[in-house]
Structure 1
Amino acid sequence: MLDPAEVAARTAWGEARGEGLSGMQAVLNAIGNRAAYPGWWGHGIAGVCLAPGQFSCWNVDDPNREKLISVDVADKVFLAALNLARRLCAAELPDLTTGADSYYAAGSRRPLWARDAFFKISIGRHRFYRVGLMGDGR
């Protein structure tokens, strides 16, 4: 069985290790917001992280993949991501994204799903959006 905190930490590290603690926390928040409302993007924290096509760092052809598989706690940034991910799994991680479940790198081409109506916040070099429905219909 996969440890959800470790999978989430590897995802946050692979996606945002250059974005500091707040950038990695924001990625973890998006993971947590997806896991809270399971659907096409996966079920549970590990399932959300590993769902095909959802987090590019896990793509077989992504150069980050081998790095995130082999990183360990000797890497201080990964250790920080792991500590944040443990807080996510314990439902103790504040949501910096105000409910975002999706994001993209600000310097890349804007995805079709990233409509202004869904924009939540920019954190570091990522723009965060709420694409899925929350339990209250927002």
Structure 2
Amino acid sequence: MSVTEKDPDILARTLWGEARVKGSSGQVAVALAIRNRVFDGNNNSWWGEGYGDVCHEPYQFTCWNKTEPNYQFLIGVKQIPSRELAQCRIAVDQVIDGKVSDPTGGATHYDVSEAVRSRSIRWHAAQPV
């Protein structure tokens, strides 16, 4: 699968929206879950085609919901702090370039409900459709 010119930016913005409080390892892990959707062996085409499509697929990532407070940052109306976005871009480059192993075990879902306090992410493997 080829990576489009826009994919790295969309993925970085998704990481900022979904995992900016998780630090670099959490951001890499979320990016890996997205990558696992892109390369899903179950051929679940409803994930979308490529990183950008997977990130923008309705109801997949709440940060892209138009009613989400951070949506204005993701679409560029408001500016994401440059250091935070740069950290997300590092995670994106590591994942897209295959420079990190997958600690999620191939998970395509994650739960950050304990987000700020625990800094942990729980992983869920893909469920057959």
Instruction: State the TM bucket, normalised to the shorter chain.
Output: 0.7 to 0.9
Residue equivalent to 1:100 = 107
Answering whether residue 108 of structure 2 is matched by residue 79 of structure 1, we say no
Moved over 6 A (4+): none
Identity %: 33
Query: Would you say how many aligned residue pairs link Structure 1 and Structure 2?
Result: 118
Aligned to 2:119: 124
Is 1:25–1:96's contact at 8 Å kept on the other side of the alignment? no
Separation in 1 of the partners of 2:75 and 2:19? 15
Kindly report the root-mean-square deviation, in angstroms, between the aligned alpha carbons of the 2 structures.
Answer: 2.2
Instruction: State the TM-score, normalized to the length of structure 2.
Output: 0.79
Of 5, 8, 13, which aligns to 1:5? Answer: 8
Q: Could you list the runs of 5+ residues in structure 1 that have no partner in the other structure? A: 109-122, 134-138
Give the structure, 1 or 2, with the largest relative contact order (CA under 8 Å, sep 6 or more): 2
Query: Which structure: greater strand fraction?
Result: 1
TM-score, normalised to structure 1, is 0.75
1:125–1:85 Cα change, 3 Å: same
